[in-house]
Structure 1
């Protein structure tokens, strides 16, 4: 895949994920628009780093972003297991916890095999911390808030890992990104399904 198109796609998906509080629908990518964006400014790589959900600039940034994403997904989903009264949401949350715990373990292994090794220190970014606070105070709107956050977070994570899998420079981390894209896609699709079913 053309790297310019992939970078633009990651940025567009990230921007779409940030918009509004309504549950996101299926992602539609306008390839002609992406081609035009790449041709309009082929030397502009700021798309890859301007947004936190864009393409990581290097292996350390990928490790930091992936670890933060995992940590937020695990903590928010543990809260959903505790607070949600919806069995399907709890099932999704349990799957997310298990898959992202595995992702973190695999990330640490991959980062350790990088040359030189990269340290992984999971810590949520300010947006993720704010989402956790919103989730803790959601009360009657907990399920809707959780699902909306999961759709947005997984759109951003998917764009990020797909971009790094295609053009990252640290081979073990590229493989990690490729491996986790499938589970992230699965979580996204299921969260979208449940969000569409949830009462507004």
Structure 2
């Protein structure tokens, strides 16, 4: 039996109070790096099999946009004198990647879209919080530039 792992909306609500506190710069860089890595890896997986042009286009955009945000955050981290560690998936992200690999065909497409909706909601909360209350100005500026990109991704996902 295949499991569909989707972050429930309540999981984001439970996480909201923790995100309301200002994240230290190093934690923000680590969190954003993991998010970008997950986005790129999941896009690569779905691109291997999808025949849906909307999902294909979205996944290709994820590779481009999350590659750009990774570079932006790394540059901002250097300016802020925060050493960016090598990006690593969280255990939840690793499980989501494993689920995508286990699925095939339209089931993989559906899992990808569901995961993207949850992941982008979480990413938006992190970026908005750091853009508003972050302490490292270069990272705060980068987060503010990333917010509208994530919002655009969420709007696109609503049509899928």
> Per chain length, whose mean CA-contact separation is higher, i.e. which structure has more relative contact order (CA < 8 Å, sep 6+)?
2
Aligned-pair CA distance for 1:117: 3.0
| Equivalences for residues 59-70 of structure 1 within 5 A | 59-70=25-36
Aligned-pair CA distance for 1:17: 6.3
Aligned-pair CA distance for 1:48: 2.7
**Structure exhibiting the larger radius of gyration computed from Cα positions:** 1
Which structure has greater helix proportion?
Answer: 2
Aligned-pair CA distance for 1:118: 2.7
Deviations 1:44-89 (A, max 9, x none): xx9235xxxx655200000000000000001101112111110110
The structure 1 segments of at least 4 consecutive aligned residues displaced by more than 2 Å after TM superposition are 14-19, 54-57, 116-120
Matched pairs, number: 150
**Residue from 37, 49, 55 that aligns with 1:89:** 55
Q: Do 1:17 and 1:152's aligned partners in 2 also have CA atoms closer than 8 Å? A: no
| Equivalences for residues 179-190 of structure 1 within 5 A | 179-190=145-156
Tell me, which stretches of 5 or more residues in structure 2 are unaligned? 1-6
| Alpha-carbon RMSD | 1.9
2:94 corresponding residue in structure 1 = 129
Compared CA separation, residues 148 and 172, structure 1 to 2 (3 A): same
Provide TM-score, normalisation by structure 2. 0.87
Tell me, which stretches of 5 or more residues in structure 1 are unaligned? 1-13, 20-45, 195-200
